[in-house]
Amino acid sequence: MLQCSSSCNSANQPRTHMIVEMQEFMSEQTQALGDQVERFRRNPQRFVRKALVDSAEGLKALKRPVRMVAHSGVKLTAVSQNTLASLIELQSEIVTSAMSAVATRLERAADAEGVVDLVLDQASMLPATRERIVDEAIRAVEIFKDAGRDVGKIAAHAYATVTGRTDEELAAAKKTAARKTKRAVGKAKRAVRKVAA
């Protein structure tokens, strides 16, 4: 019986803590609302005017980010369309070259004088097939790398425009972060060496 009551109390502690936090939050919100009501009652015109000015400034501040997001969306659509077009073109080349390779294999098989010639001809074509597959894979990777690079540039430009930071400032911030990381790693290595010594 005692064990149950102590375990029940420990289980109820988080719930009690949450209820207390909710009550504190509600009292803060009620206090803030009461302050606003008091300001409104003292000078309703000034209160409404200030609210309208704040709303107008907030809407004006949103114009630039919204425009930037729209431009970035258009650029991302162009990048995705170019990537898709390149992939479709690559796919058609892969299919065409695979069909040509199969046709060549069939022609050589038809011209073979025996089983040994057939096996040797087919084996001699394997390196060319392997090179073609590797080349196609490299081209696919390049297409995705170019797309990723373009998306990164668009994202960096959008971030710089929205935050008001120039590309030079972003590059400087990256260098500073890299330098700090390098310093921290150096300190950690020196500390390890001291402990080892």
106-116: pLDDT as tens digits = 888 888 788 88
Domain membership of residue 118 (yes or no) is: yes
Position 185 in a domain: no
Q: Is residue 96 part of a domain?
A: yes
Residue 23 lies in a domain: no
Q: Residues near 97 by Cβ (< 8 Å), separated by ≥ 6?
A: 132, 136
The whole-number pLDDT of residue 192 equals: 62
Residue 133 within any structural domain of the chain: yes
Number of domains present in the structure of the chain: 1
Q: Is the pLDDT of residue 196 over 60?
A: no
Per residue in 163-195, pLDDT (tens digit) is: 666 556 656 666 777 777 777 767 766 766 665
- Is 39 part of a structural domain of the chain? no
Q: What is the DSSP string of the chain?
A: -HHHHHHHHHHHHHHHHHHHHHHHHHHHHHHHHHHHHHHHHH-HHHHHHHHHHHHHHHHHHHHHHHHHHHHHHHHHHHHHHHHHHHHHHHHHHHHHHHHHHHHHHHHHHHH-SSHHHHHHHHHHTHHHHHHHHHHHHHHHHHHHHHHHHHHHHHHHHHHHHHHT--HHHHHHHHHHHHHHHHHHHHHHHHHHHHHH-
- Tell me the per-residue pLDDT of 22-66, one tens digit each, with 9 for 90 and over: 788 888 878 877 777 777 677 777 767 777 777 767 766 666 667
Residues 83-130 pLDDT 10s: 888 888 888 888 888 888 888 888 888 887 888 887 888 888 888 888
| Domain around 93 | 64-179
Within a domain: residue 8? no
Closest residue by Cα to residue 101 from 124, 119, 85: 124
Residue 82 counted as domain residue:
yes
Report d(CA 4, CA 16) in Å as an integer: 18
> What is the model's pTM?
0.48
